[in-house]
Chains A and B, each alone.
Chain A
Amino acid sequence: MKHLGVEPAHAGAGAMVRLFHVSKSYLAGSWALRDVSLELGKGEFVFLTGPSGAGKTTLMRMIFADERPSEGQIIVLGRNVSRLSPSAVPALRRRIGVVFQDFKLLPRRTVEENVGLALDVVGTPPRERRARVFAMLKRVGLQHRRYHHPLSLSGGEQQRLAIARALVNDPEVLLADEPTGNLDPDLTLEIMDLIADAAARGTAVFVATHDHGLIERYGRRVVRLEAGELAEDTPIRRPML
């Protein structure tokens, strides 16, 4: 069940994320992203692939309003990110889970506090918070590490911690930037199952990855970028079981 493809969501009003002719230029004269249009529906799971420097991270940063598009429009959860006022950004981000390529964990807070942070920003009551953090840590296999600090964890453990923080609040959109880069194959599958699980429960998922084996194995929709341009958008493929 987990590895079976989910029907792509209908295009249009139901989309969680929509990009219309989006371009991004950090430096005048060069484009990190060029005229990209795509939609991501509820519960849809998309692999975002392409060589290093293709614009995967840039695309994700624009979706959670860390960068603004230079051209085009981005609608996320019904909000036009290109025109979002700064005070409206936090509320949008609380509905989006992000696994950063460099994790962005708080080194002075414990594993437990790092995961809890996503619940603290929305003010989850203490009892519920504790239960959800514990359940999440168990799912990523870090419950025995909950009072450690991130820097005392291995790379793989830090990555799982980052994923736990992104998923603990059941986000409507999940953006995972190379979330399995530091994991060994067994752990990679476990984590991908966790992410696929979130998609099955309705979360719209973007996973940036270089790992073709992973893409083949899961057989989901693939969006491939090359030098900032949309090179491929293959709806859904048969999973290779």
Chain B
Amino acid sequence: MNQRWFARLRYFLRTAWSGLRESPVTGSVSVLTIALCLLLVGSFALLVANMERILDRFGEEFRVSAYLEDDLAEADLAMLRERVAAAPGVDRVDLVTKEAALERFRASHIGRAALLEGLEENPLPASLELVLAPEHRNAAALERLVGAVGGLPGIAEFGYGADWVSGYHGAVTLVRGVAMVIGAVLVLATLLIVTNTIRLAVYARRDEVSILRLVGGSRTFIAIPYLLEGAVQGLLGGLLGLALLVTLFHLALPVFSGSLELLLGYVSPSFLELRACAGLVSVGAGLGVLGSAAALGQGRLGG
């Protein structure tokens, strides 16, 4: 039984290989189409990945401060802290006492400590600093949080460490959404082109297909070499697309690095992770296989 499978595999590989060699033009068209598609999709992925990376950096510092009323009793504070900690999305609650707040202010305004010299009383309020779970670092979750704890006695007002973060988060979500839609359209368009290209190749070999049927080749037996050809073309297209993306990334980086630094601050743009690269190449292979399958389906292999 094993030997039969091995024999079949050999036949499929051999046939797919000669098929690839017989139609270099249609093959190249498929490979290039897939490469181009993945270059574009990869560029979007690169953009979104880097935007998310920035968000992660700032997200770590993304805290909500609940400023406390002065003269809060020890027991009330403890209870308040407990209730805030239980609110949705709150990872951790740190207490910043009036003294600590003053200390911080001094540390961040070195040289201008004189500002506070004349005061006999510490004007800074104590606060609870809420560290949010990553998935709650957005405007909607914030609103929910404020709704949940805002009315608690003892809280004077809220302050957000970095207001722009939630705006930026919205921007990233938007860009990601747009990129996904455009990516899906691109992938579908590519599938269509690849299907039509492969259909030409199948059509050119329709006599062969009918002869294979006459000598007892099953549907699967006839289809597998074409699917393998598609997979190889897709894989090559994926690798080529990835290579183009890497090249463009390294060529473009020095050109834009000045303005990027302005935009991204200290986060330097980096290339896609290995998993994303593998994903991109797999999408290529998938496109090739699906294109072949669709072409064969339209070509009607019969029983």
A interface residues, Cβ below 8 angstroms from B: 64, 66, 85-94, 96, 98, 100, 104-106, 108-109, 117-118, 120-126, 129, 165
**Is the beta-carbon distance between B7 and A93 smaller than 8 angstroms?**
no
Q: How close is A146's CB to chain B, nearest CB, in angstroms? A: 15
**Is the beta-carbon distance between A89 and B5 smaller than 8 angstroms?**
no
**Is the beta-carbon distance between A108 and B18 smaller than 8 angstroms?**
yes
Q: List 14 A-B contacts (CB under 8 A).
A: A64-B214, A90-B303, A93-B216, A94-B216, A96-B216, A98-B214, A104-B211, A108-B18, A120-B8, A123-B7, A123-B8, A123-B11, A124-B4, A126-B6
**Is the beta-carbon distance between B7 and A126 smaller than 8 angstroms?**
yes
From known contacts A85-B303, A108-B208, infer whether A165 and B215 are also in contact, taking CB-CB under 8 Å.
yes
Contacts A91-B216, A106-B211, A108-B18 known; list 7 others, CB within 8 Å: A64-B214, A90-B216, A94-B216, A108-B208, A120-B11, A122-B216, A125-B3
Residues of B close to A64: CB separation below 8 A: 214
Chain A CB within 8 A of B105 CB = no
Chain A CB within 8 A of B254 CB = no
Residues of A close to B214: CB separation below 8 A: 64, 66, 93, 98, 100, 104
**Is the beta-carbon distance between B303 and A89 smaller than 8 angstroms?**
yes
Residues of A close to B216: CB separation below 8 A: 90-94, 96, 118, 121-122
Question: What is the bound-complex CA distance between A129 and B4, given in angstroms?
Answer: 11
Q: How close is A181's CB to chain B, nearest CB, in angstroms? A: 19
Question: What is the bound-complex CA distance between A121 and B12, given in angstroms?
Answer: 11
**Is the beta-carbon distance between A125 and B215 smaller than 8 angstroms?**
no
Q: How close is A76's CB to chain B, nearest CB, in angstroms? A: 13
Partner of B215, one of A88, A91, A117, A123: A117
Closest B residue to A125 by beta carbon equals B3
Question: What is the bound-complex CA distance between A165 and B219, given in angstroms?
Answer: 20
Residues of B close to A87: CB separation below 8 A: 218-219, 303
| Interface core residue of A86, A105, A120 (most chain B CB under 10 Å) | A120
Question: What is the bound-complex CA distance between A144 and B217, given in angstroms?
Answer: 27
- The total of chain B residues at the interface (CB under 8 A) is 23
Question: What is the bound-complex CA distance between A79 and B3, given in angstroms?
Answer: 28
Residues of B close to A100: CB separation below 8 A: 214
Closest A residue to B220 by beta carbon equals A90
Q: How close is A95's CB to chain B, nearest CB, in angstroms? A: 8
Residues of A close to B208: CB separation below 8 A: 106, 108
**Is the beta-carbon distance between B22 and A90 smaller than 8 angstroms?**
no
Partner of A90, one of B6, B8, B211, B213: B213
**Is the beta-carbon distance between A90 and B217 smaller than 8 angstroms?**
yes
Q: How close is A81's CB to chain B, nearest CB, in angstroms? A: 13
Question: What is the bound-complex CA distance between A125 and B22, given in angstroms?
Answer: 26
**Is the beta-carbon distance between B302 and A93 smaller than 8 angstroms?**
no
Chain A CB within 8 A of B206 CB = no
Q: How close is B197's CB to chain A, nearest CB, in angstroms? A: 19
Closest A residue to B302 by beta carbon equals A86
**Is the beta-carbon distance between A86 and B303 smaller than 8 angstroms?**
yes
Question: What is the bound-complex CA distance between A125 and B216, given in angstroms?
Answer: 17
* A-facing residues in B184-231 (Cβ within 8 Å): 208, 211-219, 221
**Is the beta-carbon distance between B7 and A124 smaller than 8 angstroms?**
yes
Residues of B close to A92: CB separation below 8 A: 216
Chain A CB within 8 A of B250 CB = no
**Is the beta-carbon distance between A126 and B303 smaller than 8 angstroms?**
no
**Is the beta-carbon distance between A120 and B7 smaller than 8 angstroms?**
yes
* A-facing residues in B1-57 (Cβ within 8 Å): 3-8, 10-11, 18, 22
**Is the beta-carbon distance between B6 and A93 smaller than 8 angstroms?**
no
**Is the beta-carbon distance between B303 and A123 smaller than 8 angstroms?**
no
Partner of A125, one of B6, B217, B302, B303: B6
Q: How close is A166's CB to chain B, nearest CB, in angstroms? A: 9
**Is the beta-carbon distance between A93 and B215 smaller than 8 angstroms?**
yes
| Interface core residue of B221, B302, B303 (most chain A CB under 10 Å) | B303
Question: What is the bound-complex CA distance between A123 and B22, given in angstroms?
Answer: 24
